[in-house]
Structure 1
Amino acid sequence: MPTTTPRCLLLVLLAAATGVARGASGDVLFPPPPPAVARRLAATIERLGREVKPAERDALFDQIVDAGSEAIPILLAEIEKRNPRTWSLGIQALGAIGDPRVIPRLREELKGLRGRPAMDVLYALALAGDRRALVDALRSTHATVSFEQGTTAVDYIAGALGPDAVPTLIEEIPRRAKNSRVAGLGALGTIADASAVPFLLRWSRQPEPLDRRFALMALARIGDPRAAPRLIEALEDPDLDVRVAAAEGLGYLRAEEAIPRLAALLGKPSVLRPKAIWSLGLIGGPEAAAALRASWTDVSELEKPLVVEALGRAGDPESAPLLGEIARGEDTQLASLAVDALSRLHGPASSAALLAACSGAGSHETRERAAGELVRRRDPRSVPCVLKLLREEVERRNGLSPEASAMLAELPLFAPPGAAEALETMADAVRAPAIRYHLSSAASAIRTVQRLGAEVDPWLALLNQGTAEEIDLAIRWLGELGDARAVEPLCRLIGRLEPARAHLVPQALGRIGSERATSFLVSLLTEESYRDPELRRTREEAVRALARYARSKHVAQELERAFRAEHARTVTPLLAYAHIVGREGIPRLMMLKRELLRRRGRLQVLRHEKVNWALRLLRTGRPIPWEELRDPS
């Protein structure tokens, strides 16, 4: 294929754009953009046609969409070329711009297309505001075509339309063939709007098992408590797949009234038992956890990992002794899962079990996981075990694992003076310079903490005079102290830090919390000067910091702005918004999450599902833990 210079490409695109805009019957004329804009867009499209990493492709796509209507003639020309590398993305971008004037041109493009290409165009039509796109998708013979694994084109089309699509789906589902009904019911679950609940409750009683099953699945994904009695009833459905959907769905609903029925399913082997285990873990609480503990001797070896994970999710401190015993057992997979489960529990019982696992688990990896959690809890009893594990780590690997490095970074914040001497002795016995340096630095940090103590002023001075390691230590320690006098110096510091270290500042500010901290954290999210891709982790930590203590409507509004500024390429601001506003924010959250499906990709689906998870927690009266406010990426 002959190469084309950017200048030649620009001329070709502009000429083709004008021709396409003028030549198609009924088309609106889109004038060519200014030359500078055209050159930039031409170069962007050229790069989009190459093999690029997903993150770069997303950024290029967003640049085109951000150009707005000026990009339309360039996109029309590119679509006309039928380049398989750019056609689908060009169609998506044309719709994502949101200019309804492209609808006639997209309708022209739809003629004669079938399968996924047809769904690409219908999705673009929905993005451009054509509400008929959803009806056309359901009426087609390709309603179950997937854009991503487990996510149909209809999910995307309906999800991008949001709650406005619910009446159309309710009207169309009864009229359609089986595949289209399944796609439509799935889309109601994707949208997750509670207005669909009455229809789904009725539809869950259809004679066709497939209809009942997918209606129950949609009800579960919505998470409205009104659905719980119907799902409990469906545990007796004559169709096995319907019963499986009901057993799993009760976990999504956090239906405490279902615990006795689910617990009864644990007593004998069946395909329902794994789903009951999973649901009891999600429902949580003492009663669910007691049922899970009682099942331990009855479940199969394949089901034991499910029980361990469910006990962690259930969050009952009474499970700590059993999980501690499993963590010290011979099965290394179960032991590792048990440590993870103990990490989700709170209170002295879980810390005691982790401490026993730190020294008594069968594998080094399991002991290290237990030690890592104890370090995060700042438990001084863990220090001897941590030092022993670090010594083992150096001897076994002649290096440090990520978990060991993380422990070294946190150890100075709570370790006694004797730990410094032990680390120095360890460092003297190591030949590798890098490892010796890390061990010596940790020892020096412990001595610094002991020397400067809990007074704020010496640590503030260290921010200005210390080495990079000392400054990082000072940031962490000032966060631990929680003194508001540290806020302003920390805010000023961020401009001096490399991007890889800048996230430490919002982490510390989140522990302190103050009006000044709030205004600075908001600026990290909204000011253009902080939009550098290398500062993405810093912005994510700023979101989590705000969610940790802020509750004002102003902060919620700024989080919404941040979500939009990120082009819906991260869900953390939206999760923090939900965390702050609670149930009263559900209507706004429903509208905002549509933006996630105005972009395509597996990560976008995961982000959208994470918002649905938050919606289910809000509807069932559960808190959204700030620790869980993380983007799937």
Structure 2
Amino acid sequence: MARSLAALCVALSFLTLAGCKGDPSSPEYWGSNIQQSRRAEDRIRMIEALRTSGKLNESFLPMLHEQLAGEKKPEVRAALARALGDLKSKDSVEPLKAALDPAAGDMSSQLANKAMVTTLGSIGDPRAVPALVPLLRAKDNYTRIEAVQVLGTMKAKEAVEPLIALATDETVEPFLNKKAIEALGNIGDPRAAPALIRMLTKERKGKSFYVESSYALFQLGQPAADALLPALEGRDEDLLKWAKANGVNPASYPMKAATVLGDLRDKRAVGALVKQLSFTHSDAQIQALVRMQAADALARLRAAEAVKPLAAMLTETDPTVRDAYVRALTRLGGRDALPALEKAAGTGDFDTREIAVRGLAMLGDGRDLPLLQKLVAAEPARTAADCKKTSEEGCDNAAALGKKRADQLAKYTKLLEAGQACAGNVGCWAQRLDKSDPLMLERAALELGRSGVADHAGTLAARLSERNTESRLALILAVTWLTEDSKDAANKLRESALPALRKQLQDEQGMTQFATVNEDLRRLVARIDHT
């Protein structure tokens, strides 16, 4: 079938358009050829050829606006919107708004709406907001999702209430709820805090909204903390009523609020969090979870007040729970917990004992080497005693199992030796960052983070791609603490480290092994970016 002259010209050459009349650099030339193309697909080819020709500039705006206003085919309107998106001119706002079809029912029209919303977002002019807000109720998710994201990026305060309604709407797909939550976080309006707190514990169709809601609250900052403190202390009556009506265990809120307040580093929460360390509940698992989250938050807050109560909790024999308390103590630092750790190292099964030994090694120094040696020497007898009580794996040869466990404890010697060598010398710990051993890297990072010496922030940040997640978390915490204490350190990292960290987050997106720790990395990037 013969093609139109315009389409044939495009096929021959995007740049010279051989055989076509007129000046290929002029808007009139392109406008004439677009109009002369009878088929929609030919007009789209002509528009795309213009986009790639290198000739598109602001002098083409009147022609493109005219074409957009007169074009009936939604596919072509979408192509024109993309061309206007290349120019990103504020002069295009009104023509694009006029071309939107909020009642679009067919997919082509809906995709055209999406393209125009995308272009309005790339222009970023607030005059577009009144036309975008109604699209949050569009019939199709293509347009709705794009409008949600654009309004969030534009930080459109006018969209807050409709976005809150969308975030909590149980009739839409959970993906749309999540996008609305993310947009509310980007806007950062305090009005969103109550809804976001509720969505921390909401689940629909097997989907949780915790990740999006907790980060959105982090983005809100102090207004979120203001709303979370009553939730932490069980004083938010409206929240408690909502939880009861929605079948949410009210204990969920002390746990979730503790985590977000720890992320926000709000010192006002310390007293309530210390109280949460003695939280009681008829369900032992819920009780443990609330206490564990409080311990983690207190460690992130560097709350010295937590050391004594946490040390007293090391009688806990559940390995997972004891591990949470020990990790909190190792992040807080200091020697005050060592007597309790020494006692804990002799109680419970081997996994539980080793956790206490690990804590000793992360906090101690040369003075604690005799104690570790004593524990290593005693392990074969302890293993033999364990094997008499249980028939755990390996107990068919208790002697071999005891030796294996003793060797496992002995590996912590190097951490105490490093503590002895680096006593009073922060730079010595910086040199230990070059070691490949994850335990050494973790301790060195925490020592540097607690030191307050901001000059080490760059050295720590350079290791944030560490594959071991425990080591990476220690590095993130250390960099966070140093940048909290020094705006100068944050400013330097903004210039030197931020692009690489953003790329790392992008490259590792979807990698399940980094999903949890990269939530902390994401918050660190936001802190550096906005300090």
TM-score, normalization: structure 1? Answer: 0.44
| Residues 338-347 or 492-501, more deviating | 492-501
Do residues 371 (structure 1) and 281 (structure 2) align? no
What does residue 239 of structure 1 align with?
138
Larger radius of gyration: 2
Do residues 230 (structure 1) and 128 (structure 2) align? yes
Counterpart CA distance in 2 for 1:267 and 1:575 is 32
Counterpart CA distance in 2 for 1:338 and 1:234 is 33
CA apart distance, 1:184:
9.4
What does residue 486 of structure 1 align with?
426
What does residue 56 of structure 1 align with?
none
Counterpart CA distance in 1 for 2:421 and 2:77 is 56
Structure 1 residue aligned with 2:501, among 572, 577, 587? 572
What does residue 228 of structure 2 align with?
320
Counterparts of 1:363-512 in structure 2 under 5 Å?
363=286, 364-383=288-307, 385-387=309-311, 390-392=314-316, 394-395=317-318, 398=319, 403-404=324-325, 406-411=327-332, 413-414=333-334, 417=336, 419-432=337-350, 434-443=351-360, 467-470=413-416, 486-487=426-427, 489-495=428-434, 498=437, 501-502=440-441, 505=444, 512=452
- Shift in alpha-carbon separation, 1:427–1:256, aligned structure 2, 3 A: same
Counterpart CA distance in 2 for 1:474 and 1:198 is 68
CA apart distance, 1:267:
10
Q: Which amino acid aligns with 2:226?
A: E
Assess if the C-alpha contact under 8 Å between 1:262 and 1:276 holds in 2: yes
Assess if the C-alpha contact under 8 Å between 2:255 and 2:290 holds in 1: yes
Q: Which amino acid aligns with 1:572?
A: L
Counterpart CA distance in 2 for 1:370 and 1:258 is 35
Q: Which amino acid aligns with 1:280?
A: L
- Shift in alpha-carbon separation, 1:500–1:601, aligned structure 2, 3 A: same
Do residues 213 (structure 1) and 111 (structure 2) align? no
Counterpart CA distance in 2 for 1:601 and 1:269 is 27
- Matched position secondary structure for 1:338: helix
CA apart distance, 1:353:
3.8
What does residue 407 of structure 2 align with?
none
Counterpart CA distance in 2 for 1:441 and 1:217 is 52
| Number of positions where the alignment pairs a residue of Structure 1 with one of Structure 2 | 388
Counterpart CA distance in 2 for 1:505 and 1:496 is 10
Counterpart CA distance in 1 for 2:367 and 2:476 is 28
- Matched position secondary structure for 1:282: helix
> What percentage of residue pairs aligned between the two structures are identical?
17
Counterpart CA distance in 2 for 1:345 and 1:259 is 22
Q: Which amino acid aligns with 2:327?
A: A
Give per-residue Cα distances to partners, 1:538-574, cap 9 Å, x unaligned.
99869958977657999777659xx7xxxxxxx4166
Counterparts of 1:305-316 in structure 2 under 5 Å?
309=214, 310-315=216-221, 316=223
Give per-residue Cα distances to partners, 1:138-166, cap 9 Å, x unaligned.
989xx9xxxxxxxxxx9xxx9xx9x9999
Counterpart CA distance in 1 for 2:468 and 2:229 is 44
Structure 2 unaligned segments of length 5 or more: list them.
Answer: 1-39, 105-109, 369-411
Give per-residue Cα distances to partners, 1:497-530, cap 9 Å, x unaligned.
6366346556655664566x588679x68xxxx9
Structure having greater relative contact order (Cα 8 Å, sep ≥ 6) = 1
- Shift in alpha-carbon separation, 1:520–1:442, aligned structure 2, 3 A: closer
Q: Which amino acid aligns with 1:626?
A: I
Assess if the C-alpha contact under 8 Å between 1:200 and 1:215 holds in 2: no
Counterpart CA distance in 2 for 1:601 and 1:320 is 29
What does residue 527 of structure 2 align with?
625
Give per-residue Cα distances to partners, 1:424-465, cap 9 Å, x unaligned.
333322241x532431453576676999xxxxxxxxxxxxxx
Assess if the C-alpha contact under 8 Å between 1:308 and 1:323 holds in 2: no
Counterpart CA distance in 2 for 1:348 and 1:322 is 14
- Shift in alpha-carbon separation, 1:178–1:384, aligned structure 2, 3 A: farther
What does residue 345 of structure 1 align with?
264
Counterpart CA distance in 2 for 1:187 and 1:405 is 58
Q: Which amino acid aligns with 1:212?
A: N
Give per-residue Cα distances to partners, 1:373-432, cap 9 Å, x unaligned.
11222223334553465543x33xx56676455325325x157x3x43333333322241
